[in-house]
Chains A and B, each alone.
Chain A
Amino acid sequence: AQSVTQPDIHITVSEGASLELRCNYSYGATPYLFWYVQSPGQGLQLLLKYFSGDTLVQGIKGFEAEFKRSQSSFNLRKPSVHWSDAAEYFCAVVGNDYKLSFGAGTTVTVRA
């Protein structure tokens, strides 16, 4: 079965600094990968997705992610963080059962 690991439970970053969130997946075939963001008390919003093709994926809110098959990774990046980026971020993978498997999430705190 497919699974996702997000090694960092909590990251604190200064406003204007760069951000990278790590995601490692386990799946035998070509994965479908997603990053979702959840603001406090809100539902999940899709940031970006990877199905195939270009391994560098652009998303909303200035985020991008790079799929690296050799490392089984799909790390999320943003060059310059804004205070509004403080949220919880979930990486997810789809397997043969057509279900999303979420990582445990990474909480991002932005300091002024």
Chain B
Amino acid sequence: DAMVIQNPRYQVTQFGKPVTLSCSQTLNHNVMYWYQQKSSQAPKLLFHYYDKDFNNEADTPDNFQSRRPNTSFCFLDIRSPGLGDAAMYLCATSPGISKSSYNEQFFGPGTRLTVL
């Protein structure tokens, strides 16, 4: 089945130690998104790629970076995680061909990040 895969599902890191979260997709979608979701809150968009074009949200901290080396993979790098960065990180994709397909997003299962 075509899908969005996130690895690892659970990640524990230490305060200030860089961490990378991975997302891959077999849907061949143009757009890939990263969301941060804290407990009992709605997902918050961090950034997205349309193909290779990177689009950062204005309020995304500089501590968060992303890479998309090819269509299938997208990475979220947290350069110096703080305790406030503990959250669920969701990757999503969408076809991006038209407005309707642009925002019919398909989500991965998420990576739960714990910062010690």
Chain A residues within 8 Å of B, Cβ to Cβ: 32, 34, 36, 41-46, 49, 51, 90, 94, 98-100, 102-105, 107
Contacts and interface: CB of A to CB of B under 8 A. Distances in A.
A44 B42 contact: no
Given A43-B90, A44-B105, 8 more contacts: A34-B103, A43-B107, A44-B90, A46-B104, A46-B105, A90-B42, A100-B103, A105-B41
B107 A44 contact: yes
11 contacts: A32-B100, A41-B112, A43-B107, A43-B109, A44-B107, A46-B105, A94-B102, A98-B99, A98-B102, A99-B45, A105-B42
B40 interface: yes
Interface residues of B, number: 22
Query: Which applies to chain B's interface (DSSP): helix, strand, loop or mixed?
Result: mixed
B13 to A, nearest CB: 18
Interface in B67-116: 88, 90, 92, 99-100, 102-110, 112
Contact of A51 (B88, B90, B100): B100
B43 interface: yes
- Residue with the greatest number of chain A CB neighbours at <10 A, chosen from B42, B90, B99, B104: B42
